[in-house]
Structure 1
Amino acid sequence: MALEILQECIHLEVFETDCIALKGLRLIIDKPWACLGLTRLRATFESDPDDSEMDRIVFEQLARLTRLREFDMSRLTVNDAEMDDTNQEVTMEDAEWMLEHWPLLKKLKGQLTSDARTEDLLAGMLRDRGVVCEKHLKLYLYQPEHEYEDLDALFSTGD
């Protein structure tokens, strides 16, 4: 369904989903994405190890998103809503590709690679080009039972 939204929603500017598994999506992946005004994308694309052509197709689609300002490839875990490692393996060539195809990119979220030294080099290169890299984010879990406590503290007069 996520790919169908990207393919059909012309005026879409922000799109967030946890994961788009590419396995078995050959029938709908070939249609061009219509969301060319997308400025923020949060998704992790899971490759299909049996279909290496899918990665190329996804990169072609991503390259069309020239207005992208923020790309979030982090994923949520079930426990405590902490950010999970995405097992991405971004290379220097991948980072250069992002900078070339997404000239407005300002923020990249998620683990870039499992190798800490390479990740530091990648983050440094991106930072030098004006892109903020955030490896892990703390998420605010909406818990209605705490909402009133927060409001009480905010409007407390200290009596």
Structure 2
Amino acid sequence: MDTARESLKVPKEGSEYVSRLTVPPHRANVGQSFYESFTLKGIRVDTVEPGFLSCTFKVPLRLTTANGELSSGAIASLVDEIGYAVVHVEGQPMSVSVDMSISFLSTAKVNDELEISSRALGQRGRYSGTAVLLRNKSTGEVIAEGRHSLFSVLASKI
């Protein structure tokens, strides 16, 4: 138990870094939230086709562990956001994640360039499924593969 507790301790530098962050309140339907901009900042969209999205992402220090590797939480956030982006329809209510499954196969280091692709697997009623693949652009090594299920609420006619 002590080992686990020790590994979860935030180093003083990390604590100071987090305390300097400015987090303005987010208003619904007005720009990105802090969470979205923190995770997605620096992503370059390369290809957008119906049911497919491909982008490039250079791993920033802010999304890494103390060892300089892309954190599993950051990978999950990317699967969530990029998986959602491929099924989002402008003007329609946002979908919510109902299930994610991620296979963590390798690691990425600070400044590694990743290629992230997402494709729609299908839709049944108000449920959609997507697959997201994170790959090291220079080596071709698969970092993670995720499946993402989303549920959309129909717009109210009131």
TM-score bin, normalised by smaller chain = under 0.3
The structure with more helix, counted as a fraction of residues = 1
The structure with more strand, counted as a fraction of residues = 2
Larger RCO: 1 or 2 (CA < 8 Å, sep 6+): 2
State TM-score, norm by structure 2: 0.25
State TM-score, norm by structure 1: 0.25
